[in-house]
A and B are shown apart, each in its own frame.
Chain A
Amino acid sequence: MLAFKDVSKSYRIKGVKKTILSNFTFEFPKDRNIGIMGKNGAGKSTMMRLIAGIEPPDAGHIFRSPQVSWPLGFSGGFNGSMTGIENIRFVSRIYGQDTKRVIEYVRAFAELGPSLRLPIKTYSNGMKARLAFGLSMAIDFDVYLIDEITAVGDDDFKKKSQAVFKDKLANSQIIMVSHSAHTIQQYCDCGLLFEGQTIRFFDDVADLLAAYKELNR
């Protein structure tokens, strides 16, 4: 079960209070892919961090029984002075994976070649994103959290990512934040929309996209 019960979350930045969630209760439907949409700064990324368990809520409970990934798509967790291999090794260790298998997988998938032996700080953003994506795909999660993953790499790589992704979706569920109607339509079948103070659930992704369009008018 992945559920929010009476969850409240707000930030106070320089005395300005920003409420993201107040008394939000929601159970994420099982075996469905959920898109999260809304304007910039509405709190979509915060919601991802709450789902992942990176941040605690101010009040309420978050129930999380499936194995949930880290919010994927940004490479904040890499150590710049360590090489690609060393970063892969670290992440596979903390998730209790077979280090060799993960390295082989990422090597084959991310196509970074000898760069894997260089420190991350020498990588371009595209290379980092490929490493991050490959790494998360190497580990089996029940739920993948994807925060605005902009398609990385050339067309070949995009095709490969999509293929792997579709493959993963057979056994896992995704929760995805995106501004792109196309991406949401491609991967999700239902969704949440942040509309100012309220969050609305749409059982059908077409309705979600229509409401999102309306919101941005």
Chain B
Amino acid sequence: MRQVTTSDLLLLQTRVIASLILREARATFGTSAFGYVWAIITPTVSVGLLVFIFSIIDRQPPFGASLALFFATGILTLQFFNELSGKLMTVFDANRALLTYPIIKDVDTLIARALLIGATYALIMVVFYTALVVLGLAQFPAHPEHIISAFLATWLLGLGFGSLNTIIFSLWDTWAQIEKILTRPLFFISGVFYVPSQLPPQAREVLQWNPTLHLVEWFRHGFYANYNSSILEFWYPISIGAGMFLLGLTGERLFRKTRF
């Protein structure tokens, strides 16, 4: 009898995840290509509107020449993170029926959804930032490679926090409300409206523990030639994200039996 090798299993899992992404895309965006266009337009416009409102209130950009770019680096990054942490929370419940097919595992549905959200936000960011550059509201990024790494780090942190959320939510569904309360202040403590490096040292001391602050800083570091963040630590959000993801996977394994 032929032994099943690790590469067989990886191939199987890749196949399953790819099929799940297609299915999820179909379920989320509908049949027409226009559904996907809406999925791109809606967040783009809502971020655009927020940026517009903030730029009316505050005429002087906290950094650089463009208010729009400064706020966008904060708001889009947080929105991407929130989308992952929120949508991943319910992924096990939403896909319960799929487990009828034994080759689909809970973790596959988690990864498939995270990849689809990642791909969607990659497109949203490309559209949004390109629009800013075209409209003359931003310069071409000074370090594009840093924007890509910042994006990936945001995805990892969202995946990590999202998978922890999934596990906690599957054990205790009040967590959905608590998570909302806990993540609400992120908007104010992630440097959306200010340059964290210019804060008084006491404030920086506390805020630097917030990993999403580092992500916002990372995006700005990618866009501006001389942002010179005194807080940004590349490895901090990556380690927190990877750590939480591992913890989430461990939780999935440990509490698998209680979910059935």
Report whether B101 and A93 are in contact in the complex, using a CB–CB cutoff of 8 Å. no
Check if B100 is an interface residue, CB within 8 A of chain A: yes
With contacts A70-B100, A77-B98 taken as known, whether A94 is within 8 angstroms of B15 at the C-beta atoms is yes
Q: Are A54 and B15 in contact, with the CB atoms below 8 A?
A: no
Cβ of A71 under 8 Å from chain B: yes
B contacts with A, residue count (CB < 8 A): 22
- Find residues 68-107 in chain A having any chain B CB closer than 8 Å to their own CB: 68, 70-71, 74, 76-79, 81-82, 86, 90-91, 93-96
List 9 A-B pairs, minimum CB-CB distance, nearest first: A77-B100, A93-B19, A53-B102, A52-B102, A76-B100, A55-B260, A94-B19, A70-B101, A54-B102
Q: Could you tell me the distance in whole angstroms from the C-beta of B25 to the nearest C-beta in chain A?
A: 11
Can you list 12 A-B pairs with a CB-CB distance of less than 8 A? A53-B102, A54-B102, A70-B100, A77-B97, A86-B23, A90-B19, A93-B18, A94-B15, A94-B16, A94-B20, A94-B104, A96-B12
B256 at the interface (CB under 8 A from A): yes
**Is there contact, CB below 8 Å, between A71 and B100?**
yes
Where chain B touches its partner, the secondary structure class is helix
**If the complex has contacts A93-B15, A93-B18, are A76 and B97 also in contact, measured as CB distance less than 8 A?**
yes
List chain B residues, Cβ under 8 A from A94: 15-16, 19-20, 101, 103-104
- A82 (CB) vs chain B CBs: closest residue: B26
In the bound complex, residues from chain B placing their C-beta under 8 Å from that of A124 are none
Other-chain residue from A77, A78, A86 in contact with B26 (beta carbon distance below 8 A) = A86
A207 at interface by CB-CB < 8 Å? no
Contacts of B99 in A (CB 8 A): 54
CB–CB B26/A70 < 8 A: no
Q: How far is the CB of B8 from chain A (nearest CB, A)?
A: 11
Interface size class of A (residues with CB under 8 A): 20 to 34
A82 to chain B, nearest CB (A): 6
Closest chain A CB from B159 CB (angstroms): 22
Residues of B within 8 A of A74 (CB): 100
| CB pair B260 A56 closer than 8 Å | yes
How many angstroms from the CA of A65 to the CA of B256 in the assembled complex?
22
- Interface of A, secondary structure class, is loop
Check if B27 sits within 8 Å of A82, measured CB to CB: yes
**CB-CB < 8 A to A65: which residues of B?**
1
Chain A minimum-CB-distance residue to B15: A96
- What residue in chain A is nearest B97 (Cβ atoms)? A76
18 new A-B pairs (CB below 8 Å) besides A54-B99, A94-B103? A52-B102, A54-B100, A56-B256, A58-B257, A68-B102, A70-B101, A76-B97, A77-B100, A77-B101, A79-B97, A82-B23, A90-B19, A90-B22, A91-B101, A93-B19, A93-B22, A94-B16, A96-B12
Q: What is the chain A residue whose CB lies nearest that of B108?
A: A94
Q: Is the pair A56, B103 in contact by a Cβ cutoff of 8 Å?
A: no
Residue of B nearest to A64 (CB): B102
Enumerate chain A residues within 8 angstroms of B97, measured Cβ to Cβ.
76-79
A2: min CB distance to chain B, Å: 12
* Set of chain A residues within 8 Å of B12, measured between Cβ atoms: 96
Query: With a CB–CB cut-off of 8 A, which chain A residues contact B20?
Result: 94
The answer on a CB contact under 8 Å between A56 and B257 is: yes
CB distance from A96 to the nearest CB of B (A): 6
CB B91 to nearest CB in A, in angstroms, measures 15
A residues in contact with B18, CB < 8 Å: 93
Contact B23–A90 (Cβ < 8 Å): yes
B203–chain A nearest beta-carbon distance, Å: 48
What 1/0 flags go to B10-45 for Cβ under 8 Å of A?
A: 001001101110110011000000000000000000
Which residues of the partner chain B approach A58 to less than 8 Å between Cβ atoms? 257
B-side contacts of A82, CB under 8 Å: 23, 26-27
B103 touches A95 (CB 8 A): yes
List of A residues within 8 angstroms of B16 by Cβ:
94
Cα-based distance from A58 to B260 in the complex (angstroms): 11
A70 to B102, CA, bound (A): 6
Expressed in whole angstroms, the Cα–Cα distance for A82 and B26 within the complex equals: 8
Chain B nearest Cβ from A63, distance in angstroms: 12
Expressed in whole angstroms, the Cα–Cα distance for A78 and B20 within the complex equals 13
User: Bound state CA distance, A22 and B98, in angstroms?
Assistant: 28
Which residues 99-147 of B sit at the A interface, judged by CB distance below 8 A?
A: 99-104
Residue numbers in B under 8 Å from A68 (CB-CB): 102
Which chain B residues lie closer than 8 Å to A90 at the CB level?
Answer: 19, 22-23
